[in-house]
Amino acid sequence: MSATTLDTPPTPTQTPARRADRAGALRGVARRLATALFVLLCTATVAFFLVRLSGDPVKILLPPDATAEQEQVLRHSLGLDQPLFAQYLDYLRGLIRFDFGDSLVYGQPVGEILVDRLPATVELAAAALAVTLVVAIPAGILAAMRRGRGTDHTVMTGVLLGQSAPPFWVGILLILVFAVWLRILPASGYGTLANLILPAVTLAVYSVAVVARLLRSSLIDVLSSDHIRSARAKGFGPFQLVLRHGLRNASLPVVTVIGLEVGNLLGGAILTERVFSWPGVGQLTIEAISNRDFPLVQATVLFFAATFVVVNLLVDLSYSFLDPRVRTSR
């Protein structure tokens, strides 16, 4: 046997266990994707049938003195004279082509209207997420480090209020204080940083409470573990223990919740945009419901549902990769 043959390492091959693990992961991803598509289909179906219980949009689109013949002509042009099941099949065929139809009020493709309004909603959600991170993370850390003291009680009281207060009530209260009494911020509008502050804070109040409370609980559990006690015995100070050891180990569930809160911020912007007249998808949804604009209502509902489904799917998949125990238990 030659020396070349002896020195050549054997070609690595995948073990059956590794192949089975990869196949299981792929099946898990496929199962989650199938579940997400099924949820979106159910949402689209429910939105389609429920929106038609609100009444006939022809009565709103035409003047009060319109004749029955004019109503029939408009109803035929909109396809509303077809059987309900035929309308539903046309709607599903459009969804497959990503065609959401034309708005009954604006006369434009619904997709174009959503694209025009989406940047305002994304801007508001991004600002609210920034407020959440800036406020919730220090508050959770301080509450965990001062457990049972005044700082902890103050933070937990704020958490309780933040989780209990309705967003529209918080928005009205902020307008009353900062726009009416102090007159330092505008009550509505869009386009400047001053216009963004109040709606972003309003939208972030609930998320701040959720993230701060979870971070406090996670840090308390981590700080009572054996390796933290060992690090404390070695002379590490409180902030070093939290920043170097505790925060890293407590961050996994917090990152998961922050990812879920992104979907909540996008989906929860409806009331906030209404209160502050913010020209986003939430405000568009309220207008579409008031005008009985069937295609636009269906598209906005499906947009918010898709936001929640996609964010939850990404968080679920990322959590499985970050924590191998989750991947092996499913």
What tens digit of pLDDT does each residue of 88-135 get?
999 999 999 999 999 999 989 999 999 999 999 999 999 999 999 999
pTM: 0.83
What is the pLDDT at residue 238? 64
The average pLDDT across 30-53 equals 91
121-124 CB contacts, 8 Å cutoff, 24+ apart: 121/266, 121/269, 121/273, 121/278, 121/280, 121/281, 121/282, 122/266, 123/196, 124/196, 124/199, 124/200, 124/203, 124/265, 124/269, 124/272, 124/273, 124/278, 124/280
Distance CA 173, CA 167 (A): 10
In this structure, the number of other CB atoms found within 10 A of the CB of residue 317 comes to 16
Render pLDDT for 232-253 as a digit per residue (tens, 0 to 9).
666 666 666 666 666 777 777 8
- Helices assigned H by DSSP within the chain: 3-7, 16-51, 58-61, 68-77, 84-96, 110-145, 150-164, 167-174, 193-223, 226-233, 238-240, 247-267, 269-276, 281-290, 294-322, 324-328
